[in-house]
């Protein structure tokens, strides 16, 4: 690949071979010398106290090294230090949610620890748990907190109440989404190794530096004493974006037994201990004129949080800017319940919120007898009316147009139940997608070596999405060296610091740092050459020199130049190195920065069984610059599949009497499998955004899921005439 054509190319994953050959080591695959195995014991009540915990039989079982309970656990602090979670770390006898860890059993082998964990006897004083959401969002608890990115819980512009009261056409509906759980292929796992007061942790995480800060705070240790490594993550989707109790408990257990300890949590334990998407009840009110102009919009969200921490799913955030409307009111409220703390789950807020708002827009389109795309175009927001800022770029019009064309929207007869295929009812639906463009400070190091190789490092993460690959491309293109010569490393707190991989910010944050570090190294090399009487570039002007194929040479006389390697060898340099921290500027004050897209679903519904299936899907997106056409397409497909699950099958069911999860595994919690996923057509529209960050990248981890559940629900309405406002769209709701 030639310079200038590396970034954006559909390059295969640089870590692909290691992954398919088993060479990639995940957190549970590190086995330091003398490692012991920890198994976490979970509570089977959701609220109450531990009256008695008897570990004697467990302690006597073969191979057992320790049984740690609240009676003998070292004193540590699980308290949030801001931005992280309050953790329950065996410090008292209180049980606050189903599956809460109440003991750690450590043994020589996993089998011994698993067996002994069954021998821990517990007697509870159990209370009636708090569970079940009431329906009035605004009567509920308003936590003293903000939404992510320091946005307020409530907003109001204009006069919603007056405008809605006098609006000629109104939609007022309540939408519900259930608890959903992240189900990455790789469950959470941690291996903890103490060496004196130095702690090394191999963790499956979306943020090695966040892990380090949290674990240091739990043990009251300086952050320098903690090193976190994570070279591969088998999926995250938000549940690995916070440091949860098992990480601290693995480190605690290692301290107690004075040996390395490995803890891999069971799939069943992921249903409550590592966050989930909270249940939501969302009130949406739309007021419009007869010709489809929105005059009033209200989106009010209610969700549950735990008894001991607050997480707010920002469901109403997009309603603030996604359509042009003078009178808008949004709010978020929570109810404390006997559940674990919810957390970020792929597009937290935008995915569940867009189900409500984009379903309501479809209902309004039917009410007005206006085409759903046309309705959205009549309310197209030319600027962000909430922040009162222009968009840095916005290609949503093109997304609607190109998507409609690819999808064959014009074939759609808007009449519900008017389209069939064989005995199947056919429906076509669409929705708008959006996700903010985030960026945080990030650092990177670039080291050119005399053998022609390049090492680039940033302590970031690759959740399986392609960080290794796209950063290799950015470095190769910036330095003008072949991609095969670049080795990009990540996942270690000893590397330059980078933000957590959440909020779709890794590509934007880390690519900026990698690009700038590579530019700095290239500049150093060029300056050395033009100051060196033995270099063919001696006395050349810096701006006349370019880099390509591992060489630096004169733009208008390519034969005049030399390789980086020749320069370093001649000058006897061990390397040329640059380390750069890259930070956002004031662009967020000047622009509203979002990716946008349009989602189109064709659903087939069996009129006899009520089974809905997605048969075709088109997603069109304006996401700024695409760093790798292949991994980017995969990301979008992944997001849409996540949305198909959200729409049709995913639901964590709690028994309301006991607040216990009754679907804690992949047999009962239905994620989509290949047979559930149709042909998915992804289109990235050309979008050049010079404002968001140096490479013009908007981030694509999350926008793919947004709007999908609504597009499918709208298609199902079109197919059946049944408006389901309560996810997922299971057959019982369609009969």
Residues forming contacts to ligand MOS in the complex (CB under 6 A) are 206, 236, 238, 241, 344-346, 348, 502-503
d(CA 276, CA 652): 9
Tokens at residue 379, please?
């309310």
The neighbour count for residue 95, using CB atoms within 10 Å, is 26
Task: Give the span between the Cα atoms of 491 and 208, in whole angstroms.
Answer: 7
Cβ nearer to ligand MOS, comparing 466 with 550: 466
Q: In the complex, what is the shortest distance from the CB of residue 241 to ligand MOS, in angstroms, rounded to a whole number? A: 4
In the bound complex, what is the minimum distance in angstroms from residue 169's beta carbon to ligand MOS? 35
User: Which of 257/345 has CB closer to ligand MOS?
Assistant: 345
Q: Residue with structure tokens 């799913």? A: 313
What does each C-alpha distance from 185 to 245, 504, 578 come to in angstroms?
A: 20, 20, 37
Sequence-ordered list of residues with C-beta below 8 angstroms from that of 60, at least 6 positions apart, any chain: none
Nearer to ligand MOS, 287 or 704 (CB): 704
Q: Dihedral sign for Cα 158, 590, 403, 11, please.
A: negative
CB of residue 315 to ligand MOS, shortest distance in Å:
14
Task: Output 236 or 728, the one with its CB closest to ligand MOS.
Answer: 236
Nearer to ligand MOS by C-beta: 238 or 429?
238
Tell the smallest beta-carbon distance from residue 195 to ligand MOS (Å): 31
Indicate the residue whose CB is closest to ligand MOS. 238
For the bound state, the minimum distance from the C-beta of residue 277 to ligand MOS, rounded and expressed in Å, comes to 9
Q: List the alpha helices (DSSP H) in 457-556.
A: 467-479, 506-530
Q: How many residues does the chain have?
A: 735
Distance CA 40, CA 67 (A): 10
Nearer to ligand MOS, 182 or 633 (CB): 182
Distances (CA, A) of 678 to 185, 399, 641: 21, 21, 9
- DSSP one-letter code for 585: -
DSSP-based helix, strand, coil % in the chain, nearest 5 = 30, 30, 45
| Residues 289/344, Cβ–Cβ less than 8 Å | no
For the CB of residue 642, give the shortest distance to ligand MOS in the complex, in Å.
10
Q: Which is nearer to ligand MOS, 303 or 449 (CB)?
A: 303
Kindly compute the dihedral angle of the four CA atoms of residues 518, 523, 526, 527, in this order, to the nearest 10 degrees. -150
Taking the C-alpha atoms of residue 661 and residue 279, their distance in angstroms, rounded to an integer, is: 13
Specify the DSSP element, H or E, that contains 111. helix 110-117
Identify whether the C-beta of residue 237 lies closer than 8 Å to the C-beta of residue 182: yes
Residue with Cβ nearer ligand MOS (271 or 564) = 271
Nearer residue to ligand MOS within complex by CB, 238 or 314: 238
Distances (CA, A) of 240 to 145, 275, 326, 411: 22, 9, 39, 43
Question: CB of residue 346 vs ligand MOS: minimum separation in angstroms?
Answer: 5
Burial-class residue 462 by CB neighbours within 10 Å (0-12, 13-18, 19+). Answer: buried
Q: Considering the complex, what minimum distance in angstroms separates the CB of residue 344 from ligand MOS? A: 4
Instruction: Write out the two tokens for 432.
Output: 């708008």
CB of 179 to ligand MOS, least distance (A): 15
**Residue 52 known to be catalytic:** no
Prior bond of 728 cis (ω within 30°)? yes
Cα gap 70→166, rounded to integer Å: 60
Q: Determine which one of 313, 350, 651, 702 is catalytic.
A: 702
Positions annotated as catalytic residues are 702
């Amino acid at each position: 690949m030639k310079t200038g054509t590396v970034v954006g190319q559909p390059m295969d994953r640089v870590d692909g071979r290691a992954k398919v050959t088993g060479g990639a080591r995940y957190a549970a695959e590190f086995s330091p010398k003398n490692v012991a195995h920890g198994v976490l014991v979970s509570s089977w009540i959701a609220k109450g106290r531990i009256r008695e915990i008897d570990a004697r039989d467990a302690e006597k079982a073969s191979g057992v090294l320790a049984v740690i309970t609240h009676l003998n656990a070292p004193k540590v602090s699980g308290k949030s230090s801001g931005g992280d979670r309050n953790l329950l770390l065996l410090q008292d006898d209180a049980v606050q949610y189903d599956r809460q860890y109440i003991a750690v059993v450590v043994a020589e082998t996993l089998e011994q620890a698993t067996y002994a964990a069954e021998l821990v006897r517990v007697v509870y004083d159990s209370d009636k748990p708090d569970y079940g959401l009431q329906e009035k969002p605004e009567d509920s608890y308003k936590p003293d907190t903000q939404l992510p990115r320091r946005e307020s819980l409530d907003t109001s512009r204009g006069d919603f109440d007056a405008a809605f009261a006098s609006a000629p056409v109104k939609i007022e509906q309540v939408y519900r989404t259930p608890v959903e759980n992240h189900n990455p292929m790789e469950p959470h796992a941690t291996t903890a190794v103490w060496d004196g007061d130095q702690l090394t942790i191999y963790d499956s995480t979306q943020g090695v530096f966040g892990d380090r800060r949290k674990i240091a705070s739990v043990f009251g240790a300086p952050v320098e004493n903690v090193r976190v490594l994570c070279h591969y993550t088998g999926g995250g989707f938000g549940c690995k974006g916070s440091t949860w109790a098992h990480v601290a408990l693995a480190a605690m257990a290692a301290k107690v037994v004075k040996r390395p300890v490995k803890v891999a949590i069971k799939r069943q334990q992921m249903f409550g201990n590592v966050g989930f998407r909270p249940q939501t009840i969302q009130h949406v009110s739309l007021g419009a004129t007869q010709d489809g102009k929105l005059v009033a919009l209200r989106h009010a969200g209610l969700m549950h949080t735990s008894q001991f921490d607050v997480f707010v799913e920002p469901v109403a955030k997009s309603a603030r800017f996604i359509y042009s409307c003078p009178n808008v009111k949004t709010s978020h409220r929570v109810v404390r319940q006997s559940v674990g703390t919810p957390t970020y789950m792929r597009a937290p807020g935008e995915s569940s919120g867009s189900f409500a708002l984009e379903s309501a827009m479809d209902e309004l389109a039917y009410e007005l007898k206006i085409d759903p795309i046309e309705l959205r175009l009549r309310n197209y927001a030319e600027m962000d009316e909430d922040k009162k800022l222009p968009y840095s770029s916005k290609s949503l019009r093109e997304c609607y147009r190109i998507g409609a064309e690819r999808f064959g929207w014009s074939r759609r007869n808007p009449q519900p139940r008017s389209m069939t295929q064989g005995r199947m009812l056919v429906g076509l639906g669409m929705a708008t997608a959006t996700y903010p463009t985030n960026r945080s400070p990030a650092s990177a190091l670039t080291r050119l070596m005399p053998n022609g190789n390049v090492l680039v490092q940033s302590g970031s993460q690759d959740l399986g999405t392609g960080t290794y690959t796209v950063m290799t491309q950015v470095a190769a293109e910036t330095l003008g060296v072949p991609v095969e010569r670049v080795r990009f490393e990540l996942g270690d707190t000893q590397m330059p610091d980078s933000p957590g991989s959440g909020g779709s910010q890794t590509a934007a944050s880390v690519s900026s740092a990698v690009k700038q570090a590579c530019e700095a190294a290239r500049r150093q090399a060029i300056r050395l050459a033009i100051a060196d009487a033995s270099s063919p570039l001696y006395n050349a002007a810096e701006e006349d020199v370019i880099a390509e194929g591992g060489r630096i040479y004169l733009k208008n006389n390519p034969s005049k130049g030399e390789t980086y390697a020749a320069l370093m060898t001649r000058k006897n340099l061990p390397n040329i190195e640059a380390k750069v921290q890259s930070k956002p500027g004031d662009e967020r004050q000047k622009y509203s920065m979002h990716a946008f897209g349009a989602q189109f679903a064709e659903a087939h519904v069996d009129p006899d069984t009520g089974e809905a299936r997605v048969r075709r899907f088109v997603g069109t997106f304006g996401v700024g610059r695409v760093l790798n056409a292949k991994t980017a397409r995969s990301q979008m497909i992944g997001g849409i599949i996540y949305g198909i699950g959200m729409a049709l099958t995913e639901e964590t069911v709690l028994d309301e009497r006991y607040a216990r999860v009754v679907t804690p595994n992949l047999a009962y919690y239905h994620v989509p499998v290949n047979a559930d996923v149709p042909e998915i057509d992804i289109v990235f529209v050309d979008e050049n955004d010079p404002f968001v960050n140096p490479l013009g990248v908007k981030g694509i981890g999350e926008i793919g899921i947004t709007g999908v559940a609504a597009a499918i629900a709208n298609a199902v309405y079109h197919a059946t005439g049944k408006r389901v406002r309560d996810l997922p769209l299971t057959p019982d709701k369609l009969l």
